[in-house]
Structure 1
Amino acid sequence: MPLQLPSTETEIDAFLAAFESKTLPKERWTHAAHVLVGACYVHEHGEAAATVRMRERVSAYNVAVGGENTASSGYHETITVFWIKLLALLHERYEGLGRGAFLRLALAEYGDRRDTLREFYDFDVVGSEEARRLWIAPTARQLD
């Protein structure tokens, strides 16, 4: 059974607070949770600031739950930037939506589409040490 994501403004705020304070249980940090947090940051701060926030907070969260950010595990720059860019494009298309409506849209579009990267990259982006360290733009299809 999939874990329930927050749906009310109060639940969303509590989820973000738990993630940012590094108290969110590791099992709740799913792909859909990444999308939810990224969508919140894009909605509230815009693409550039959302990218910085995700970079810093995912890296810190990984360490807090016992992980490491190394050349082969933990934080992944290309995946993070890719998803923030994708969410920013969605936000641009649906400008004016409130946070809750935008999060529901983002989760409906991408919450269960973890493999979306394969549509945009013609190499194993997940396994690439270079892509883990540095942003690599899509190679198979442009973001638009």
Structure 2
Amino acid sequence: MTTEYSPRLFARDSDIRALGEGLLACALPREAWTHEAHLAACLWLLSERPDIDVDAEIAAIIRRFNESVGGVNDDMQGYHDSITRAYVAGVRLFLSQTAETGLANRVNALLLSDIGRRDWPLRFYSRERLFSVPARRGFVEPDLAPLPDAPSPADERP
């Protein structure tokens, strides 16, 4: 059964930057940390914050934010490492392929793409594996297909 997917889109680049800065400063209201906000913040971090090593820091950034709004990061709720890392790979792939310019245009195109869908990681993982405690607590390799591999910026240089 296919469900209709209609993400909340962003009107301005400044809204996305404020969201990303709010995440880093633990200054967002909990209800603002939606699926769309996760992907917008990821794209912003990857494209506009070269000072942040997303692979090394994303888990701590999200865990710290979750705790700042009263959430917990345990075996059942909060930060989910495998889902996060799947989306980081997807956002990198999207950025390597998009012709969109402007932060809001890129984020909105991502949200409207297959990669932006809430069920996108299930192309690579069975539900059982993805929603397991080990997958939440640390990265586990997909069991259905490998995650996409986007070219690194060094690979794109002539």
TM, length-normalised to structure 2: 0.76
1:138 to 121, 142, 152: 142
RMSD over aligned Cα, in angstroms?
A: 2.6
- Asked if the contact 2:39–2:111 (Cα under 8 Å) also holds between the matched residues in 1, the reply is yes
Q: Evaluate the alpha carbon distance shift between residue 64 and residue 3 of structure 1 in structure 2; reply closer, same or farther with a 3 A threshold.
A: farther
Instruction: Identify the match of residue 71 of structure 1 among 66, 71, 75.
Output: 75
Query: Where do 1:6-25 residues align within 5 Å?
Result: 6-25=10-29
From the superposition, tell whether residues 8 and 123 of structure 1 become closer, same or farther in structure 2 (CA, over 3 Å).
Answer: closer
Structure with greater helix percent = 1
Equivalent pairs, count? 142
Unmatched 5+ residue regions in structure 2? 1-5, 149-158
The 4+ residue runs of structure 1 with deviation greater than 4 A are: 2-5
Pairing 1:89-100 to 2, within 5 Å after superposition: 89-94=93-98, 97-100=101-104
Which structure has the bigger radius of gyration? 2
Q: Which runs of 5+ in 1 are unaligned?
A: none
TM-score of the superposed pair, with normalisation by structure 1: 0.82
Aligned residue among 47, 50, 53 for 1:49:
53
Identity of aligned residues (%): 25
